[in-house]
Amino acid sequence: MLWRRGNLTVGILFVTLAAWVVFEKSGYTLLSLLSTVLLLLIFILFLRAKSAAILNRPAPPLPVLYLSEEMVNEVGAFIRDHVNDLLSVSQDIALGKDARLFFKVVAYLLLISVLGGLTDFHTLGYTIIYLFINFPSARPRCCSHSSSALHEIRRLS
C-alpha cells in the first residue's frame, strides 16, 4: 500500500531515520526532547502575548483546555477493565488453569528478552516500524479491517 505512494514511504522512512539519529546518536532522550520543545513553545507564546501588549493589540486567542469529569471517568473505566482482564488472565496462569497460554507468555517473554539483549530499545522499535511498512504480512491480523477501511476511504475521496 505504501509503495504505491512513494513520497509517503520515503517520508516515513526519512522521519524514522531522523528520529533514530536524534535519539541514538545525539544522546537525546524522549523526555529531554519533549521538555525542550514544550519550553520553546511556552517561550514563543509568552513573547507573543508580551509583544501584543506592547503594540496595543489584543492578546492572541488560546483554546480553553478542559477535561470533563465524564471523559476522565470513561478513561478510568477503560483502563480499569483492561487491568482487571490482565489480572484475571495472570491469576489463571498462576493457578495452572491455562497451560497453553502460560507457554505462549513464556515464549513471547523469552523472545523479547533475547531480542532485547541483542539490540537496544530504539533500534528494535525502528526495525519493527520498517518491517511493518515494507512487509504487510508482518502486520497483525487485526489491522486488515483498518487497512480495508482506509482503502475504501481513499477510493471514495
Tell me if 108 is assigned to some domain: yes
**CA 85, CA 150: separation in Å to the nearest integer?**
30
Fill in the DSSP letter of residue 37. H
Take residue 36 and report the three cell numbers written for it.
Answer: 525542550
User: Over the chain, what is the mean pLDDT?
Assistant: 78
Number of structural domains the chain divides into: 1
pLDDT per position as a tens digit, 46-58 = 888 888 888 888 8
Tell me if 104 is assigned to some domain: yes
Tell me if 13 is assigned to some domain: no
119: helix, coil or strand? coil
Domain hosting 112: range is 29-48+100-135
Tell me if 124 is assigned to some domain: yes
Percent of the chain exceeding pLDDT 90 equals: 11
- CA-based diameter of the chain, in Å? 73
Tell me if 71 is assigned to some domain: no
Q: How confident is the model at residue 142 (pLDDT cuts 50, 70, 90)?
A: low
Tell me if 39 is assigned to some domain: yes
Name the pTM for this structure: 0.44
Is there a contact between 19 and 26 (Cβ–Cβ < 8 Å)?
A: no
Tell me if 33 is assigned to some domain: yes
pLDDT per position as a tens digit, 72-127 = 999 999 999 999 998 898 888 888 787 888 888 888 888 877 877 777 777 777 77
Range ranked top by mean pLDDT from 67-76, 123-132, 141-150: 67-76
